């Protein structure tokens, strides 16, 4: 009993020693390398050199409403609902539940999070247990003095059980910097997911708008073809009566053929755009359910939020992702520096060896050991130094890329604001041009019937009107598309969505969008945080 108690005392001493060293290491350890600080917000940045008008022009056609810019207004999390289109909302909801790119981005975030959690284990001791049994025949070991061949006295049984403890002391913070790098990588994937979400929703909106625009262009072209076909039949009748020259018939035939030639490219573009929408929705091309989206189902948002320039870097997913890469590069510098410094470790072992399992814990069978080690690279051909320099260069590259991303973000917003204003002016001009072309065509028809102009002049007036219709439809679609582009350029309002976990303890939240297939929730969501 006394020896068993002594064995237990040795176990407690070993564990106490290991725990004491671990605690001492945690208290005395430092963290080498730079501590990351978020880049300063560009306070002097703006979208335009001069103050833009607070309201766009308007016109009395579909999509011609005036739009007003509201500074410092926030963006709704589901910004596409501002178009007030149930069919558009249905398409986006389907895309969010079935798009493979979004599912891949979700999986990449979960992978990065799990890698971060795995790195956290490096801060704790590694404890492993081993139990083994060996049976062997020892030659010449007979106790009877004979040859000993096959004698049971030559067979030995060795049974052992041990508990091993190893711990790499993070004296200079290399492990913690590695964890910091892994966490920054997880943040990068988190904002890449947000960027994928924003890109997908914007693409669905723009594709739906393109489908509506193409259908309107095709409908207008088919109407024009019908009118020109009727006109050709009329001219043929006039030709038979000798009222017009053969050249007029040929000219109308050529004009009709030219208009008919514009229809197949539009139909081709419509089919390809529809196939693109099917891909966004996670469908195959043959799974088109016949959704007939058109521009008349959309309402142009009349009030457009314009975020303050100082807030843009907080809102843009690509800027936040670039910031996370900068953070990761900063942590990697600390890892590289720590690798140049001595590496401390302690090991311990406690066990028992016997000739049978039944006597493993009997007195006299115990063994234990404890030790420490310090390793320092002396000569490595400069590898560690060059890796440190490479890490610093990586940080410089990430800093430059971050600034480039910020500049591109401001450029996107500036372009969208300009586009919205000029789109309104363009649609107003196209609406006037269409009305003027129609008036001119009616006058030309009257003059032609009275013999005041030749048929070439009538054809020119007709072609001008045809082009005006197509240009007006395209101008209408541009207003809708560039409005969606502004919401995308401003970040899409992801911070106002209910499926994004709030920030806590200084750690950013993350988005969770369940795909069609079952996935595993990451721990924060499983815990309901």
Asked if residue 477 lies in contact with residue 217, where contact means CB atoms within 8 angstroms, the answer is: no
| Helix H or strand E encompassing 372 | strand 366-375
Alpha-carbon gap, residue 31 to 40, rounded angstroms:
24
Alpha-carbon gap, residue 514 to 520, rounded angstroms:
10
> CATH number for the domain including 262?
1.20.1600.10
Residue 211 counted as domain residue? yes
Residue 157 counted as domain residue? no
Residue 149 counted as domain residue? no
Which residues have a Cβ under 8 Å from the Cβ of 207 and sit 6 or more positions away? Answer: 273, 276, 277, 280
Which residues have a Cβ under 8 Å from the Cβ of 271 and sit 6 or more positions away? Answer: none
Residue 137 counted as domain residue? no
Q: How many domains are there within the chain?
A: 1
Q: Flag whether the pTM goes above 0.95.
A: no
Residue 234 counted as domain residue? yes
Asked if residue 293 lies in contact with residue 87, where contact means CB atoms within 8 angstroms, the answer is: yes
Residue 365 counted as domain residue? no
Local confidence pLDDT in tens for the 529 residues of the chain: 444 445 455 545 545 554 554 455 454 568 999 999 999 988 889 999 888 889 999 999 999 999 999 999 999 999 999 999 999 999 999 999 999 999 999 999 999 999 999 999 999 999 999 988 888 887 765 544 444 444 556 788 888 889 999 999 999 999 999 999 999 999 999 999 999 999 999 999 999 999 999 999 999 999 889 988 988 998 899 899 988 889 889 988 999 999 999 999 999 999 999 999 999 999 999 999 988 888 999 999 999 999 999 999 999 999 999 999 999 999 999 999 999 999 999 999 998 888 877 777 778 778 889 999 999 999 999 999 999 999 999 999 999 999 999 999 999 999 999 999 999 999 999 999 999 999 999 999 899 888 898 888 888 898 899 899 999 999 999 999 999 999 999 999 999 988 776 554 344 444 444 433 333 333 333 343 3
Alpha-carbon gap, residue 493 to 499, rounded angstroms:
12
Residue 168 counted as domain residue? no
**Domain encompassing residue 337:** 40-124+173-343+386-526
């Amino acid at each position: 009993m006394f020896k068993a108690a002594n064995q237990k005392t040795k176990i407690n001493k070993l564990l106490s020693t290991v725990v004491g060293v671990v605690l001492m290491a945690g208290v005395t350890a430092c963290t080498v390398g730079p501590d990351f600080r978020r880049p300063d917000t560009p306070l002097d940045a703006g979208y335009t050199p001069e103050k833009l008008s607070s309201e766009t022009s308007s016109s009395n056609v579909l999509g011609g409403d005036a739009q007003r810019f509201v500074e410092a207004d926030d963006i709704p999390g589901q910004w596409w609902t501002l178009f007030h289109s149930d069919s558009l909302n249905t398409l986006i909801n389907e895309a969010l539940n079935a798009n493979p790119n979004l599912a891949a981005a979700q999986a990449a975030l979960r992978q990065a999070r799990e890698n971060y959690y795995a790195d956290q284990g490096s801060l704790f001791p590694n404890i492993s247990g081993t139990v083994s049994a060996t049976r062997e025949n020892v030659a010449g070991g007979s106790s009877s003095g004979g040859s000993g061949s096959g004698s049971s006295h030559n067979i030995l049984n060795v049974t052992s059980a041990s508990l091993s403890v190893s711990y790499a002391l993070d004296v200079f913070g290399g492990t913690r910097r590695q964890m910091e790098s892994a966490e920054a990588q997880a943040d990068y994937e988190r904002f890449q997911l947000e960027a994928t979400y924003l890109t997908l929703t914007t693409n669905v909106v723009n594709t739906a708008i393109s489908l509506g625009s193409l259908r309107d262009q095709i409908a207008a072209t088919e109407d024009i073809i019908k009118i020109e076909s009727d006109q050709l039949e009329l001219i043929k009748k006039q030709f038979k009566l000798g009222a017009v020259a053969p050249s007029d018939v040929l000219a109308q035939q050529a004009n009709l053929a030219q208009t008919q030639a514009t229809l197949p490219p539009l139909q081709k573009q419509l089919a390809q755009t529809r196939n693109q929408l099917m891909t966004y929705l996670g469908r195959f091309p043959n799974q088109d359910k016949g959704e007939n989206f058109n521009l008349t189902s959309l309402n142009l948002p009349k009030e457009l939020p314009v975020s303050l320039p100082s807030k843009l870097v907080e809102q843009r997913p690509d800027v936040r992702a670039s910031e996370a890469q900068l953070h990761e590069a900063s942590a990697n510098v600390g890892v590289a520096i720590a690798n140049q410094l001595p590496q401390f470790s302690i090991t311990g072992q406690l066990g028992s060896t016997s000739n049978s399992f039944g006597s493993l814990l009997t007195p006299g069978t115990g063994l234990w050991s404890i030790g420490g080690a310090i390793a320092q690279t002396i000569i490595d051909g400069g590898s560690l130094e060059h890796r440190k320099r490479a890490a610093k260069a990586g940080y410089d590259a990430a800093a430059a890329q971050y600034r480039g991303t910020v500049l591109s973000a401001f450029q996107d917003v500036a372009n969208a604001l300009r586009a919205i204003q000029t789109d309104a002016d363009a649609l107003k001009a196209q609406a006037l041009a269409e009305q003027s072309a129609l008036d001119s065509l009616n006058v030309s028809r009257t003059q032609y019937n009275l013999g005041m102009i030749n048929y070439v002049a009538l054809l020119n007036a007709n072609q001008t009107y045809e082009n005006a219709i197509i240009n007006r439809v395209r101008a209408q679609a541009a207003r809708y598309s560039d409005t969606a582009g502004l919401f995308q350029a401003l970040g899409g309002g992801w911070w106002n969505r209910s499926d994004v976990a709030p920030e806590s303890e200084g750690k950013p939240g993350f988005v969770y969008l369940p795909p069609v297939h079952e996935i595993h929730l990451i721990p924060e969501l499983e815990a309901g945080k």
